[in-house]
Structure 1
Amino acid sequence: MGENQMQVPAAGAADGLGGLVGVAAQAIDRLGEWGVGAFTLAETILPPIPSEVILPLAGYLAKQGALNLFLVFVTSLLGAYAGALFLYWLGAKLGLERSIRGLSKLPLVDREDFEHAADWFRRHGRSSIFFGRLLPGVRSLISLPAGASAMPLGTFSLYTLAGSGLWNGALIGLGYALGTQYRLIEQYSRFLNYAVYVALAVTVVLLVVRRAKRAKANR
């Protein structure tokens, strides 16, 4: 079967994708490039929202002609940077401990995740801002200790944009590269659905276990 037969028209680019991935693809298709930026902003502030799902889908939709590839990259980078700036500002304004105490009350977020990011920053310094953007569990939260330690904003911005650009570009490029292989995208979407469901279930279980242990230790 030729490539032209496998490519999906832009108007129905997200129609064949089911489950959580299908819902995300439909949302991105309707919201456009700025919707990608909004999703990336939310993912930066609320780590359980996975960029590993959103950005490849955006790249896939760009390949189908539903989105502009360059604008997808730019808006995703702006969203990631805006979210990083918010957490940087929060750390600078409230300090690390108060920020962690407040944010750890969010659903599916645990204090240990913030402490892990803070420890990563203490051990690796400014380079942690760049490399941390490539590591799940550290990528979003590394901005807090950077702001709390008064890291220069220019340095923080440079490392954030470089690391986030590399990460976002790789994921968007993956989706774009797979864009003409519609059947492969369908298989990929089913795999992603299972992976996301499992990840969310594991996150919830770990969060419950951690908090139960902490409550028991505080008695």
Structure 2
Amino acid sequence: MDRLGGLGAGLAIALENFFPPLPSEVILPLAGFAAGLGSFTLASALFWTTLGSLLGALGLYALGRVVGEERIRRIVDRMPLVDVADLDRTVDWFHRHGGKSVFFGRMIPLFRSLVSIPAGVTRMPVWRFAVLTTAGSAIWNAVFVLAGYQLGQNWSRIQPYASSFQRLVIVVAVVAVAVLVVRRVRRRRTRSRSTDR
């Protein structure tokens, strides 16, 4: 983010759509934090992260529209760390709630990314999808970016604790990713064993 500024934050959020284990809950506060330290402006952080959310979501929307549900299921089944059950839950949610699922789905971890696919599969009008995605993403992003910004503004008060906190965050992030990977690998092995039987 220091090198690419707000654009870098937007790029990271766009990538989060395609790789859901990449957590926006970490990226967004870091963008706000960098803005609080003066690396770029708060308005820039909010603009670029929301644009990144929209562009990433539009990419998955287009994928859903072009590929269709059955082929999407086969692709998701081959993706590491992503479960077909997550896609199924997202499709069910979408069929029950339509436009509301796009708006509120942008504020639900994991659904944030996957909700774009059924919107494309069901051919929701792209303008409606874009408006709902932008509105939902702007709210979600603002909450986390502003939290990080407040921390950045008060950096001098917490500077003595920063290096310890940074190490703790890195350890927690590594452990969280490791747990996620182990759970998904075990689930896939269990499924393949039951299929072999």
Q: TM-score, normalised by structure 1?
A: 0.82
Structure 1 stretches of at least 4 aligned residues deviating more than 3 Å after TM superposition: 187-192
CA distance in 2, matches of 1:124, 1:192: 36
1:46 paired with 2:19, answer: yes
Task: Give 1:211's match in structure 2, choosing from 173, 188, 193.
Answer: 188
* Residue in 2 that maps onto 1:6: none
CA distance in 2, matches of 1:103, 1:79: 22
Deviations 1:41-99 (A, max 9, x none): 10111111111111111111111111121111111111111110111111111112211
- Bigger helix fraction: 2
Deviations 1:166-205 (A, max 9, x none): 1111110000011133327826544533432232122112
The alpha-carbon deviation at position 141 of structure 1 amounts to: 0.6
Q: Residues 121, 92 of structure 1: CA spacing in aligned structure 2 closer, same or farther, 3 A cutoff?
A: same
Percent identity (aligned)? 43
1:88 paired with 2:79, answer: no
Q: How many matched pairs?
A: 192
1:75 paired with 2:48, answer: yes
CA distance in 1, matches of 2:105, 2:125: 17
AA matched with 2:109: P
Contact 1:104/1:110 (8 A) holds in 2: yes
5+ residue gaps, structure 1: 1-27
* Residue in 1 that maps onto 2:112: 139
The alpha-carbon deviation at position 123 of structure 1 amounts to: 2.3
Alignment of 1:142-161 (within 5 A): 142-161=115-134
Task: Give 2:97's match in structure 1, choosing from 118, 121, 124.
Answer: 124
Moved more, 152-161 or 98-107: 98-107
5+ residue gaps, structure 2: none
Q: Residues 93, 169 of structure 1: CA spacing in aligned structure 2 closer, same or farther, 3 A cutoff?
A: same
CA distance in 1, matches of 2:50, 2:83: 26
The alpha-carbon deviation at position 121 of structure 1 amounts to: 1.1
Q: TM-score, normalised by structure 2?
A: 0.90
AA matched with 1:215: S
AA matched with 2:75: G
Alignment of 1:1-12 (within 5 A): none
